């Protein structure tokens, strides 16, 4: 008889604990909302655009454009190093 009551009480507690802990969901919603705002605030990087040209003498030149000057310089450097090889 005691085992039956113990089992009933155990199941009742086991089933009530998740129902009472609904406040955890409220705490997670602002964090998810905050992450969505952070993702929306990130602007994608515009790629560096390269226009490759070849002259009649089979010599190559290029025009590089982009929003980030550092990326333009790095790209130009990589192109020059590629021609040396």
- 54 near 60, Cβ under 8 Å? yes
Residue 67's pLDDT is 87
Residue 56's pLDDT is 92
Domain boundaries, the chain: 49-84
Maximum alpha-carbon separation in the chain: 101
Radius of gyration of the chain (CA): 32
The share of the chain scoring above pLDDT 90, in percent, equals 8
- Quickly state the pLDDT bin for 57 (edges 50, 70, 90): very high
Four-CA torsion 28, 32, 33, 34, nearest 10 degrees: 100
What number of helices (H) and strands (E) belong to the chain?
A: 3, 2
- Quickly state the pLDDT bin for 81 (edges 50, 70, 90): confident
């Amino acid at each position: 008889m005691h085992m039956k009551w113990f089992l009933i009480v155990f199941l009742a507690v086991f089933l009530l604990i998740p129902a009472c802990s609904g406040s955890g969901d409220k705490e997670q919603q602002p964090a998810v909302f905050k992450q969505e705002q952070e993702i929306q605030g990130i602007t994608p990087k515009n790629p560096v655009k390269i226009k490759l040209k070849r002259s009649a003498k089979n010599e190559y030149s290029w025009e590089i454009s982009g929003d980030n000057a550092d990326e333009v310089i790095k790209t130009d450097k990589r192109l020059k190093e590629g021609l040396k090889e």
